Amino acid sequence: MTMLTFLIPVALFLGGLGLVAFLWALRSGQYEDLDGSAERILIDDADVPPGRADQAGR
- pLDDT tens sequence across 6-18: 999 999 999 999 9
* Separation in Å, CA 22 to CA 6, 18, 30, 31, 50: 25, 6, 10, 10, 39
The pLDDT score that the predictor gives to residue 6 is 95
pTM over 0.75: no
- Can you spell out the DSSP letters for the chain? -TTHHHHHHHHHHHHHHHHHHHHHHHHTTTTS-TTHHHHHTTS-GGGS-GGGGGGTT-
Return d(Cα 56, Cα 41) in angstroms, integer: 11
